[in-house]
Amino acid sequence: MSQYKAPLSDMRFALFDVLGAETEFARMGFSDATRDVLDAVLEEGARFTETVLAPLNAVGDRAGCTLDRTTGAVTTPPGFKQAYAQYVEGGWSGLTAPAEFGGQGLPHAAGVPLKEMIDAANLAWGNFPLLSHGATEALIQHGEDWQREVFLQPLIEGRWTGTMCLTEPHCGTDLGLLRTRAELQADGSYAISGTKIFITAGEHDFTENIVHLVLARLPDAPSGSKGISLFVVPKIRVGRDGALGDANGVRCGSLEHKMGIHGSATCVLNFDSAQGWLVGQPNKGLAGMFTMMNTARLAVGLQGLGLSDRAYQNALAYSRDRLQMRALSGPKQPEKPADPIIVHPDVRRMLLTCKSLIEGGRVMGYHAALLVDLAHHAQDDVERERADALLGFMTPIVKACLTEWGVECTYHALQCYGGHGYIAEHGMEQLARDARITTLYEGTTGIQALDLLGRKVMQQRGAGLKVMLGMIEQLCVEQAGNDAVAGFVAPLRHCASEWQRLTRLVGEQAATDPEQIGAAAYDYLMFSGYVCLAYWWLRSVLASEASDRAHRFKAGKRETAQFYFARILPRTLAHAAAIESGSSTLMALEADAFDA
């Protein structure tokens, strides 16, 4: 079974040394987010995830969730419900929620390390409270006063959990095709009828109530995405006064049989004239849903990061212990019958790939979380607008890249084990299976790529891209005379220039070729992710050198950065070449000729 130890040292480095979070929190007015408070959160979060959640990871994978087809009730794996009770008792569910609704009022970024720990320790369990945060945000921003009063405190306290109900059997990403209908009732509520699939934590035994945020159509709604409304539909009816009523008309029809995350209840939900209440304006439901979705996309990026780190930790330990062959340059441990496999270049290639993507990705993901706080709480209007633009730009990059790298890292880690990684005993194959879903839900990598290039760059004229490029240029100018990082500055500046050139090229090609955006989107997104990571690796080297960290830590950062710049950043060359090839190589083959 795989083990997990929260990487608190590197979490603190990313949050405090690189990002200066304590100073940023104080500047935004979070007076309670002091270093001692944040350190206590990290320490207690590590204890909870290491000792309570991590041991249940394999249990959940083996046992899965079970459905009583007579009642529609779902039973979670052994220990899951008890772990959730400890989570609620510890106050974790309201860590970053507003104090006015019963939360602890800490910054969003202060909760991100805990989220990473939970996902690394037990991704399937972590999916149960995952969407409560998004439901809370949607109701805060779009709900009526009575809806906030009735639903928010139970959600924030963890007594209830939330879901996000979008997908239907015939309708995934293209929400304009959804058929779930909503009919106005005499009491001002709506009767919601339809079927939703792939609903994470749609039914479980953790809480007395589940709050579903559901997309549906009104009878007179216009067709397409302009005719979608958002409704709050509790599992147990809730009156305007907060009193619980009888069971609502929503039931779990089946559980999906999945490749991974077996301990997570992925439900088919049938709504049969279920009582729901309109959230926001009629036919404007996508605004509320995107509030949830963007929160969830950043959260799923952290899932990829957490799984990567747990896989890497175990692969590193195994590589130090497993004896096989001798180093090509001569025995490293002659007193033993063979050397540990960590001496071999190809094993080091895999481990360093994981280390560079994890540690750089951690800073990138934490920075996106800090942008959430800045976009809402920065003291200056210009700074809030700048943070919001950069956050919108970085969200698809963080979601897609951290999850794609999560798949890569878990497979590298499995490979380090050889045949032992393929069997269940060591737990590596579970991590690889679990990681695969992260590139799919909350918008596939292709959807993130289209969002980045089509919407955030082309439609919005690259507002966020300009902010990111400005950050890169400022850093490069500041470090232009620093010989110690010259080997990082020049490649980063070159990549930034290429980024601008490729953006212009795609824009020019798209003017005459409507397929070009779609053809270039994936490679453009990955190119963007690798350049952003190079920026954060340079920032990390500078921060480590300026810190009072031990020489071993500083050497680790510098050598890993050198590996990244030499062996990972050149992946941008392949992505650039693919972008430059245009759409013809993708679109020329007729659909009926694929099997020719």
pLDDT over 80 at 143, yes or no = yes
251 three-state secondary structure: strand
pLDDT over 90 at 315, yes or no = yes
pLDDT, residue 596, reads: 78
477 CB burial (10 A radius; 0-12, 13-18, 19+): exposed
How far is it, in rounded angstroms, from Cα 584 to Cα 587? 5
| Mean pLDDT value across residues 81-106 | 96
- CB neighbours (10 Å) of residue 82? 13
Q: Which two tokens stand for residue 100?
A: 């006015």
CB 12 within 8 Å of CB 46: no
Question: Which residues are catalytically annotated?
Answer: 442
CB burial of 194-220 (b: ≥16 within 10 Å; e: otherwise) equals: bbbbbbbbbbbebbebbbbbbbbbbee
Name the residue among 276, 173, 166, 163 with its Cα closest to residue 218.
276
- CB neighbours (10 Å) of residue 63? 17
Name the residue among 175, 137, 176, 128 with its Cα closest to residue 156.
137
pLDDT bracket for residue 293 (50, 70, 90):
confident
Torsion angle, alpha carbons of 175, 180, 185, 190, to 10: -60
Start-to-end CA span in the chain (Å):
46
Q: 3-state SS string over 546-572?
A: HCCCCHHHHHHHHHHHHHHHHHHCCHH
Name the residue among 54, 564, 540 with its Cα closest to residue 314.
54
pLDDT, residue 295, reads: 87
pLDDT over 80 at 176, yes or no = no
- CB neighbours (10 Å) of residue 459? 11
Q: Which two tokens stand for residue 114?
A: 């805990």
pLDDT over 90 at 286, yes or no = no
For 376-425, how does the pLDDT look when each residue is reduced to its tens digit (9 = 90+)?
Answer: 999 999 999 999 999 999 999 999 999 999 999 999 999 999 999 999 99
How far is it, in rounded angstroms, from Cα 116 to Cα 366? 10
For 231-240, how does the pLDDT look when each residue is reduced to its tens digit (9 = 90+)?
Answer: 999 999 999 9
Cα–Cα distances in Å, from 346 out to 47, 343, 351, 415?
34, 9, 9, 10
pLDDT over 80 at 175, yes or no = no
pLDDT bracket for residue 289 (50, 70, 90):
confident
| Mean pLDDT value across residues 295-317 | 97
Torsion angle, alpha carbons of 197, 203, 204, 206, to 10: 120
541 CB burial (10 A radius; 0-12, 13-18, 19+): buried
pLDDT bracket for residue 287 (50, 70, 90):
confident
Q: What does the DSSP assignment read for 309-342?
A: HHHHHHHHHHHHH-B-S--TTS-SSTTSSS-BGG
CB 442 within 8 Å of CB 133: no
How far is it, in rounded angstroms, from Cα 378 to Cα 381? 7
Q: Which two tokens stand for residue 547?
A: 């810190």
Q: What does the DSSP assignment read for 350-396?
A: HHHHHHHHHHHHHHHHHHHHHHHHHHHH-SSHHHHHHHHHHHHHHHH
pLDDT, residue 585, reads: 92
pLDDT, residue 225, reads: 84
pLDDT over 80 at 216, yes or no = yes
Name the residue among 564, 197, 140, 160 with its Cα closest to residue 359.
564
Task: Provide the whole-model pTM.
Answer: 0.97
